[in-house]
Amino acid sequence: MEVWALEGFEVLGATIIGGRVSNPKDALESFRLLVRELRSLALELNHFLVFEKNFQINRKEAKKILNFRF
């Protein structure tokens, strides 16, 4: 079922070519279910804007973006 969620939402192709993934609010329920299943395994999905100049992000930047304590 998870494979169908990735294919149906075109996430797999977008991640391979470096494309954008649509807004999660517009996502299919099967994709949101996949995200919830991953979170239940303590795998949090977040996104960052990565520019070609700088491919790394440090903890301070991540903390600022996520408002999350590391």
**Per-residue pLDDT tens for 11-23?**
656 555 555 655 6
Give CA 53 to chain center in angstroms.
Answer: 21
- Listed residue (34, 52, 54) closest to 43, CA to CA: 34
pTM for the whole structure: 0.35
pLDDT at 51: 56
pLDDT at 70: 45
Work out the angle at residue 68's Cα, subtended by the Cα atoms of residues 21 and 40, and round it to the nearest 5 degrees: 65
Task: Assign 13 to helix, strand or coil.
Answer: helix
Q: Are the C-beta atoms of residues 44 and 12 closer than 8 Å to each other? A: no
Q: Are the C-beta atoms of residues 36 and 59 closer than 8 Å to each other? A: no
Look at residue 35 and tell me whether its pLDDT is greater than 70. yes
Rounded mean pLDDT, 56-64: 66
Mean pLDDT of the chain: 64
pLDDT-derived band of residue 55, with 50, 70 and 90 as boundaries? low
